[in-house]
Amino acid sequence: MNDYIKEREESTRKLAAEQVLPNVQWFPGHMTKARKIITENLKLVDVVIELLDARIPYSSANPMLQEIIAGKPKVVALNKSDLADPAITKKWVAYFRSKGIQAVAVDATQGKGTKQLVKITEELARSKTEKLVSKGAKARSARVMILGIPNVGKSSLINRLAGSNKAKTADKPGVTRAKQWIRLADSLELLDTPGILWPKFEDMNAGLKLAFTGAINDEAVDRELITGVFLDTMIKLYPERIKERYKITDELPETSGELLELIGKKRGCLVKGGVVDLEKAQRIVLTDFRSGKLGTVSLDTPPDIEETENSQEKN
């Protein structure tokens, strides 16, 4: 790819980010309120489940979570693992564990990994519950809450974990009646107020990836720009997935604009005069990615892996 194309690609990426980030509907007031609610609820639980999108674990993380939870035991759940590249997901799990953080890949829709998640959560809470008993308190179930940015599957995970136990358990002493608990297992209860965290605004690339996955509403972004940057990314990372999905036998075009035109023709997105309906083609591409029709795709890699790759490129 020549320097002109690279420069144009970077310009498109920056323009797309400028379109995305200002339109995310989070403001200082929202963040302050969300943080207050989460802080109040944290006092009631023993363990936090941080829910991330397995395709973009870095980009879907809240930048201030560690500060907010203030040392509360945490387990990372990499949701939508069925849509992510399994090899990279394994590296993410290993990365978190190397940092002393328990992590598990889950698919809330199908239930994959949820039993392991419950087991890890119970183990993390055990020291707290046993300590309470040693001080003369009555034995109780471990208590957990789920935190994550919008649209990473919090409701799906709660429904999957709760199963037929969706009925709320009785109010607990010292807990306002508005706080509802769901029994997940004999020794585990979930506070049914999943915490809504805000995404990374300041990170241009993270904002774009959130738009790719639909974590940022399509109505708030320029779909043309977002699709263009997404296709540029796929050309670099997963060109064969694009070729296979859209039955492209020749080499892929060097630019996303040319590729979108080709995809539009392949999928019959034509209007009068044989002109490609680009808006329809854009919707097809993004829907195919979000639904897994482009195969398993991961857009974030662990920081240690990124550093290794960068150093290799320089040598």
Query: Residues comprising the binding site for GTP?
Result: 79-82, 151-156, 195
DSSP three-state, residue 182: strand
DSSP three-state, residue 287: helix
Q: Where are the beta strands (DSSP E) in the chain?
A: 47-53, 74-79, 102-105, 142-148, 181-185, 188-191, 195-196, 270-271, 275-276
Structure tokens at 66: 């560690």
Q: Are 225 and 12 in contact (CB under 8 A)?
A: yes
Give the residue among 50, 28, 56 at the shortest CA–CA distance from 205: 56
Distance between CA atoms of residues 102 and 98, nearest Å: 9
Distance between CA atoms of residues 305 and 274, nearest Å: 45
Q: Please give the distance of CA 73 from its chain centroid, rounded to a whole number.
A: 20
Task: Report in angstroms the alpha-carbon separations of 290 from 53, 82, 101, 216, 256.
Answer: 12, 11, 28, 12, 18
> If you search the block for the tokens 């044989």, which residue do you land on?
274
- The number of C-alpha atoms within 13 Å of 177 and in the hemisphere containing its C-beta is 0
DSSP three-state, residue 41: helix
Complete DSSP assignment for 114-126: HHHHHHHHHHHHH
Point out the annotated binding site: 79-82, 151-156, 195
Q: Is the dihedral of CA 284, 2, 55, 222 positive or negative?
A: negative
Q: Are 49 and 146 in contact (CB under 8 A)?
A: yes
